[in-house]
């Protein structure tokens, strides 16, 4: 029979362990929230939810500066256009504004847009690499959230077991 001994933690060590555990837990929850946001955004950008329409762009304007502090960058464009075919009941054109264009689209050409779950219209990703990157992007923060959650659980279990076992306890 082997004898196991556990030394009780001092107050500073226990406080540090609990604080580190809570801190890692908050980071894990935040990263999980980022992963959920990216997944829901990807659903809209990939056109996997309803409300996908064809839009003909008539004009665009920059909603963010075209340059960054380092001198480069792309403008974030908001483009206005009409839905093709117009499902408006009065026979007129139905106008919508889509945001999130990284480059200026061809005016008058049909363009697929989808409505994100929170109501904004965005262009649907067309390229294979863009679609793959958008679909896999939530996995990065999800992996880090799992790592921080694992650290949190391990720290909590270590803290909890050190409080249960008295010094010089045997199994």
Q: Is there a single domain that holds both residue 113 and residue 90?
A: yes
Q: Is there a single domain that holds both residue 114 and residue 139?
A: no
What is the structure's pLDDT at 144?
95
We report the CATH number of the domain holding residue 85 as: 2.40.50
- When the pLDDT of each residue in the chain is averaged and rounded to a whole number, the result is 77
Confidence of residue 140 (pLDDT cuts 50, 70, 90): very high
Question: Rounded distance, CA 45 to CA 34, Å?
Answer: 16
Q: What are phi and psi of 103, to 5 degrees?
A: -140, 160
Q: Is there a single domain that holds both residue 82 and residue 141?
A: no
Q: Is there a single domain that holds both residue 95 and residue 41?
A: no
Confidence of residue 138 (pLDDT cuts 50, 70, 90): very high
**Domain membership flag for residue 2:** no
Q: Is there a single domain that holds both residue 33 and residue 55?
A: no
Q: What is the pLDDT of residues 15-49, one digit of tens each?
A: 556 677 788 889 999 999 999 999 988 888 887 87
Q: Assess whether pLDDT exceeds 80 at residue 129.
A: yes
**Domain membership flag for residue 1:** no
Range of the domain at 103: 48-66+73-124
């Amino acid at each position: 029979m082997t004898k196991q001994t556990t030394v009780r933690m001092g107050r500073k060590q226990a406080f540090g362990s609990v604080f580190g555990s809570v801190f890692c837990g908050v980071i894990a929850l935040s990263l999980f929230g980022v992963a959920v946001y990216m997944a829901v955004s990807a659903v809209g950008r990939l056109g996997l939810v309803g409300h996908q329409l064809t839009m003909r762009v008539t004009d665009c304007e920059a909603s963010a500066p075209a340059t960054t502090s380092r001198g480069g960058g792309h403008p974030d464009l908001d483009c206005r256009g009409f839905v093709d075919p117009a499902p408006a009941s009065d026979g007129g054109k139905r106008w919508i504004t889509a945001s999130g264009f990284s480059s200026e689209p061809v005016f008058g050409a049909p363009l697929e847009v989808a409505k994100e779950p929170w109501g904004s219209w965005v262009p649907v990703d067309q390229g294979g690499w863009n679609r793959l990157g958008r679909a896999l992007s939530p996995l990065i923060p999800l992996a880090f959230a799992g790592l921080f959650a694992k650290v949190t659980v391990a720290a909590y279990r270590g803290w909890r077991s050190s409080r249960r076992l008295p010094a010089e306890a045997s199994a």
